[in-house]
Structure 1
Amino acid sequence: MKKIVLMGMLMGSVVFNSVAQSGGQNDPKAKSVLDNVSKKFKSLKSVAADFVLKVHGANNSVADSRKGTVYLKGPKYKVTMEGQEIISDNKTSWTYSKDVNEVTINSVDQGATTITPAKLFTNFYDKDFLYRLAGETSEKGKTLQNIEMTPTDKSKSIFKVILSVDKKQQNIARMKVFEKNGNQYTYEITNFKPNANVSDATFTFDPKKYPGVEVVDLR
């Protein structure tokens, strides 16, 4: 399965490296929805959210499905999935792969435009995407406001993202990423816990808890 760093809900985190370009108009109705999500997230001390990642092939068949959890506290995050953990304290990031018992360490580039899980819930969209409200749908008793987003940098492999927001709770319910090669990735939030009890130790990697782990330090 291709790894997407969502930076991440992710990462899995999902990561977009975008370079903003001029042109196009944004939908003020969509901006209002996104601003409300950002405002609510910034008011929370922490978040824990369970999600399901589904990978669709070019024929729209589900090629892979994985469950995971993302923990957020300000700019810090931790994403756990089967066989993988991605951790950042906003200065250092650790990516742990269970199958090879290896952790890769990197410094966080504060100037990067990569979308981290924390940025996903805030106003990352203003510089790197054009967006419009694409209507509402009813699913599982919820009203979802669907926002279609297109990267301003057309050279990227991603050509569209559909962000679905729970209208009542003002939380992100789902994100669907479309690539030019036909692959699609869907992140669906199955459980959102605001102000969860998350300690600061969650956002550092303790090698003592991973006996024999190989450390690859790229800082």
Structure 2
Amino acid sequence: MKKLLSVCLLMLWCGMQPLQAQDAKAKSILEAVSKKINGLKSLKANFAFHLNGANGKVKETKKGSFAMKGQKYHVLIAGQEIICDTKTIWTYMKEANEVQISNFNPDEQSISPTKLLTNFYDKEYSYKYAGSKKVAGKNCDVIELTPTNKGKQLSKLELAVDKASKTITGGNIWEKNGNNYQYEISNFTPNPNISDSYFTFDTKAHPGVEVVDLR
């Protein structure tokens, strides 16, 4: 589940912070994405992951949705909700009716939005322009990213950026074990009206919930 959440955050935030000079065209495209996303007060989107095995066959498909307001986020995926109000993280497992509560520390959490917002490109990946292609009927620029840390499980990440809207529409992630994640982002909604209460977990709304406090 952490891997799925990590990929979800990667695809939603990867273009949101200042970039050092690498590939000039890739930088220009990513800065356009950054400018658009950073100009939003909130956003919502749906996403889908398709895990393809080394043999090319689809092993698993998961769908979910995501909402963000400033540094706050709420992810729904595979029967779980991951909620953060910038101070606390709640991970709710619906089937077990259990919620785990932990402190939010951007310095310690590799999958936190704060970390991705501040140093994702500059410290962890190199990037280059890799051409253009159609994704879900949209003309997209393709950016290829490679981890600077060769010890990472990921070998390569590909982003497809809609040329017209300057939003990420999908892409691919390759792992060294031969697995490949294909993902799509749909129903991107800029500046939806989202209450701050959506970014907290209300135990009263979940009768009988088991609370596991890890703080």
TM-score by length of 2: 0.87
Letter of the 1:9 partner, please give it.
C
Q: Which moved more, 1:109-118 or 1:89-98?
A: 109-118
1:204 lines up with 2:200 in the alignment: yes
Letter of the 2:3 partner, please give it.
I
Whether the 8 Å contact between 1:77 and 1:118 is mirrored in structure 2 is no
Match of 1:84 in 2: 80
In structure 2, distance between residues paired with 1:8 and 1:87: 16
In structure 2, distance between residues paired with 1:176 and 1:190: 15
Match of 1:6 in 2: 5
Aligned residue runs from structure 1 range 66-105, under 5 A: 66-105=62-101
**CA displacement, residues 148-167 of structure 1 (integer Å, 9 cap, x when unaligned):** 11111111111111111111
Q: Which moved more, 1:119-128 or 1:90-99?
A: 119-128
Whether the 8 Å contact between 2:124 and 2:148 is mirrored in structure 1 is yes
Q: How many residues are paired up?
A: 209
Shift of residue 7 of structure 1? 3.7
Match of 1:138 in 2: 134
Match of 2:32 in 1: 36
SS at match of 2:30: helix
| Residue ranges of structure 2 left out of the alignment (5+ in a row) | 15-20
In structure 1, distance between residues paired with 2:114 and 2:140: 21
Whether the 8 Å contact between 1:8 and 1:79 is mirrored in structure 2 is no
Alpha-carbon distance change, 139 to 174 in structure 1, aligned in 2, over 3 angstroms: closer
Shift of residue 186 of structure 1? 2.4
Shift of residue 111 of structure 1? 2.3
Whether the 8 Å contact between 1:158 and 1:177 is mirrored in structure 2 is yes
Whether the 8 Å contact between 2:65 and 2:77 is mirrored in structure 1 is yes
Match of 1:189 in 2: 185
SS at match of 1:6: helix
Shift of residue 104 of structure 1? 1.4
Moved over 6 A (4+): none
In structure 2, distance between residues paired with 1:122 and 1:65: 30
Whether the 8 Å contact between 2:9 and 2:111 is mirrored in structure 1 is no
SS at match of 2:197: helix
Percent of aligned pairs sharing the same letter: 50
Whether the 8 Å contact between 1:9 and 1:117 is mirrored in structure 2 is no
Alpha-carbon distance change, 162 to 122 in structure 1, aligned in 2, over 3 angstroms: farther
Taking only aligned residues, the RMSD between alpha carbons, in angstroms, comes to: 2.6
Q: Which moved more, 1:35-44 or 1:137-146?
A: 137-146
Match of 2:103 in 1: 107
**CA displacement, residues 137-179 of structure 1 (integer Å, 9 cap, x when unaligned):** 0234311111111111111111111111111100011142211
In structure 1, distance between residues paired with 2:132 and 2:178: 25
Shift of residue 5 of structure 1? 4.4
| Residue ranges of structure 1 left out of the alignment (5+ in a row) | 17-24
Match of 2:145 in 1: 149
Alpha-carbon distance change, 78 to 103 in structure 1, aligned in 2, over 3 angstroms: same
In structure 2, distance between residues paired with 1:96 and 1:73: 20
Shift of residue 8 of structure 1? 4.8
Q: Which moved more, 1:96-105 or 1:29-38?
A: 96-105
Shift of residue 196 of structure 1? 0.9
Match of 1:180 in 2: 176
Whether the 8 Å contact between 2:66 and 2:75 is mirrored in structure 1 is yes
